[in-house]
Amino acid sequence: AQSVTQLGSHVSVSEGALVLLRCNYSSSVPPYLFWYVQYPNQGLQLLLKYTTGATLVKGINGFEAEFKKSETSFHLTKPSAHMSDAAEYFCAVRGSARQLTFGSGTQLTVLP
Amino acid sequence: ETGVTQSPTHLIKTRGQQVTLRCSSQSGHNTVSWYQQALGQGPQFIFQYYREEENGRGNFPPRFSGLQFPNYSSELNVNALELDDSALYLCASSSNSGGVGTDTQYFGPGTRLTVL
């Protein structure tokens, strides 16, 4: 079985500030981990993924995430928030089964 | 390269009716997965199709069914619609390499279903 917990359903940051969105996972096998972003009334866009190898993963739009096995975490960060980053962010895990299990999402608000 | 497309964009049905949603997978992808996203929640896995056969199913009743066609496009059918079926239905395509690889899923824009 696998599960994802996203801490903080809403996060607000000022433009230019650090973005940190938290994700903890549970998986009975070595996980593949993903972050997706969803803009209003749209589907999900892949930001980045971790499969094997380097634990620091870089994605699109300046986002990155670090896989920490000991902490079962895969937090998403961006050094400097931009207004266009305002969206909902979903962490997902794929374990032994091929489906993705998603967290409940974090709504990111960027304040001017 | 064409991405994942879904039709229709929006749909309004009444309770008890049946609905069919359609998905065209991304070029080169052979696997389609369907998800239901209720308002304010993360997507929930419905089922996956690989080479025209169901390849995994989530916790959804049998009135949710699907098909995959030889060109890898797919349909999601829902019978006896209930009010709680109102949601965004997302289709994702991926390339299943027979157990090897990440099977990264790429999502379409979704179909917004409203059941009255």
Digit-by-digit pLDDT tens for chain B (116 residues) are 578 999 999 999 999 999 999 999 988 888 999 999 999 899 999 999 988 999 889 999 999 999 999 999 999 999 999 999 999 999 999 887 655 445 789 999 999 999 99
For chain B, the average pLDDT equals: 91
Q: What is the tens place of the pLDDT at every residue in B88-106?
A: 999 999 887 655 445 789 9
Digit-coded pLDDT (tens) for A13-40: 999 999 999 999 998 788 899 999 999 8
Q: Do A104 and B41 touch (CB under 8 A)?
A: yes
Among B residues 2-41, those touching chain A with beta carbons less than 8 Å apart: 4, 6, 31, 33, 35, 40-41
| Dihedral sign computed on CA atoms, order A99, A103, A104, A110 | negative
Residues of chain A with pLDDT under 50: none
First-residue to last-residue Cα distance in chain B = 37
Q: Are strands A106-111 and A56-58 parallel, antiparallel or unpaired?
A: unpaired
* Range 60-89 of B in CB contact (< 8 A) with A: none
Residue B1 confidence (pLDDT): 57
| CA torsion through residues A40, A45, A47, A52, sign | positive
Q: Indicate the residue of B42, B90, B110 with minimum beta-carbon distance to A105.
A: B42
How many angstroms separate the Cα of A35 from the Cα of each of A4, A6, B13, B16, B40?
11, 11, 33, 36, 17
* Amino acid at the residue B86: S
Q: What is the pLDDT of residue B100?
A: 45
- Give the pLDDT of residue B101: 47
DSSP string, chain B: ----EEE-SEEEE-TT--EEEEEEPPTT--EEEEEEE-TTS--EEEEEEETTEEEEE-S--TTEEEEE-TTS-EEEEE-S--GGG-EEEEEEEE---SS-S----EE---EEEEE-
What is the spatial order of strands in the sheet that A73-78 belongs to?
A: A2-7, A19-27, A73-78, A64-68, A56-58
Mutate: best of A52, A60, A99, partner B, most B CBs <10 A: A99
